[in-house]
Amino acid sequence: MNFLSEEQEIWRRTVNRFMDEEITREYVRKCDMERQYPYEGFDKIAAQGWLKALIPEEAGGDGGNIFDYALMCEALAKYGFDFAASLLVSTFTALNVVHHASPEQVERLVKPFMAGKLRFAILISEPGVGSDVSGVKLRARLDGNEYVLNGQKLWASGSGAENTVLCVLARTDPDVGRHGGLSIFLVPNDTPGVDIQPIETVVRRMTGTYQVYFDDARVAPDTMLGEEGQGWQLITDHLDIERISISASYVGNAQQAVDDALAYAQEREQFGRAIFEFQVIRHRLADMQTRVDAARLMVYRAADMASRGEPCTKEVAMAKLFASEALREVSLQGLQIMGGHGQLPEADMERYVREGTQATIGGGTSEIQRTIIAKHMRHS
């Protein structure tokens, strides 16, 4: 994209090169196939200081803006969204934490996170709570000078990784309507009364996704983020950042799907010529690249507006909708171009397809993004 500034272009290339030389596609593939959390990759990224991105300088971070963060996400996801997810679940949760944390919480949680010694996971969904987040039931009751947590969370990505703090949306007051009475607690994943069980989903094999049971888990009041009853506001603030980062990641993964399909089409020969010579294949690739470029432009627009502090919920929802569907579509087309070879894990395309099927669900489904967009539409 030639409208990136020189600094942004250098940053984009730096993270891309790091992925190629330090992380590698083979490492991403291996973690996916073996369902291994990418501790080594996480440590390498922490060593670069990239976990400080967007964390305000007063809290010891590097500051920067969300556009640069989006460029990083795009590159980190090139060999599969899940690798980026293993970091981003932590980084976008840390960003929300740092904006509402007490100075003591910044010292205890955010600083160790930036040093790569601690991770975060975000626990909103429950068995009965998906798109309608306001229905959260997990209960937190004050008992003496502790809160007692009881209930179940579902799809809690990254919750089982070592040294992870669970950012838990809980109901502290059931009598003040669905959006009121919610609060957030920052609960270490080795707290007694917290039981974390892996779920064998088709994606998120390296980050891992879990069901988490809270059975009389007792936590101190200083585990609360912000104030009691602020949970809804904090989670809403969180969602725009989360959606920009994941949309940028879908674009990075989708671009790699196009690149891999193009390379294969140029190399694979049938009927005495490279299959790229068949017009149907060339046109398919042209459509794929056009779709990815359009998704990238939408993500950059949303990130640019967010970095300038402009309201952009509609543009963020458009970016999430379009980029997730772009990843799903181009990876499926890539699979078709690669024929039988695309089915093999070594070809990587089957991983991109799996990511594409989840992209339109996680972080808010495509239907919910369309609902948000429609809600913000005005006559121009």
Ligand X SMILES: Cc1cc2nc3c(=O)[nH]c(=O)nc-3n(C[C@H](O)[C@H](O)[C@H](O)COP(=O)(O)OP(=O)(O)OC[C@H]3O[C@@H](n4cnc5c(N)ncnc54)[C@H](O)[C@@H]3O)c2cc1C
Task: Output the smallest distance, CB 32 to ligand X, in A.
Answer: 13
Please choose, out of 170-178, 218-226, 323-331, 363-371, the segment that lies near ligand X by the rule CB under 6 A.
Answer: 363-371
Assess 361 for contact with ligand X (CB under 6 A).
Answer: yes
Tell me which residue has its CB nearest to ligand X: 130
Residue 157 or 333: the one with the smaller Cβ distance to ligand X is 157
**Beta strand pairing call for 119-123 and 164-171:** parallel
Among 56, 60, 64, 130, binds ligand X (CB under 6 A): 130
Assess 357 for contact with ligand X (CB under 6 A).
Answer: no
Residue 157 or 245: the one with the smaller Cβ distance to ligand X is 157
Assess 253 for contact with ligand X (CB under 6 A).
Answer: no
- Encoding tokens for residue 314? 């509609």
Assess 131 for contact with ligand X (CB under 6 A).
Answer: yes
Among 94, 123, 149, 241, binds ligand X (CB under 6 A): 123
Task: Output the smallest distance, CB 124 to ligand X, in A.
Answer: 3
Please choose, out of 179-187, 216-224, 309-317, 354-362, the segment that lies near ligand X by the rule CB under 6 A.
Answer: 354-362
One character per residue 33-72, x = contact with ligand X (rule: CB under 6 A):
----------------------------------------
One character per residue 87-106, x = contact with ligand X (rule: CB under 6 A):
--x-----------------
Assess 203 for contact with ligand X (CB under 6 A).
Answer: yes
Output the DSSP codes for 92-114: HHHHHHHHH--HHHIIIIIHHHH
One character per residue 173-202, x = contact with ligand X (rule: CB under 6 A):
----------------------------x-
Supply angle C-alpha 117, 123, 127, rounded to 5: 145
Three-class DSSP category at 59 = helix
Candidates 92, 39, 48; CA nearest to 70 is 92
Identify whether the C-beta of residue 252 lies closer than 8 Å to the C-beta of residue 76: yes
Task: Output the smallest distance, CB 120 to ligand X, in A.
Answer: 10
Residues ≥6 apart with Cβ < 8 Å to 71: 4, 8, 11, 12, 15, 248
Output the DSSP codes for 192-212: TTEEEEEE--SS-TTT-EEEE
Task: Output the smallest distance, CB 363 to ligand X, in A.
Answer: 6
Assess 232 for contact with ligand X (CB under 6 A).
Answer: no
Residue 281 burial by CB count (10 A; 0-12/13-18/19+): exposed, middle or buried?
A: buried
Among 29, 171, 204, 314, binds ligand X (CB under 6 A): 204
User: What are the distances in angstroms from CA 72 to CA 65, 156, 247, 319?
Assistant: 11, 23, 12, 16
Assess 124 for contact with ligand X (CB under 6 A).
Answer: yes
Candidates 88, 78, 50; CA nearest to 255 is 78
> Can you tell me the distance from the alpha carbon of 87 to that of 61, in angstroms, rounded to the nearest whole number?
16
- Encoding tokens for residue 168? 């838990």
Among 262, 349, 368, 372, binds ligand X (CB under 6 A): 368
Identify whether the C-beta of residue 203 lies closer than 8 Å to the C-beta of residue 360: no
Assess 365 for contact with ligand X (CB under 6 A).
Answer: yes
Cross-strand pairs, 153: 212
Among 86, 93, 209, 255, binds ligand X (CB under 6 A): 209
Which residues contact ligand X by CB under 6 A?
89, 122-125, 130-131, 155-157, 201, 203-204, 209, 358, 361-362, 364-365, 367-368, 371
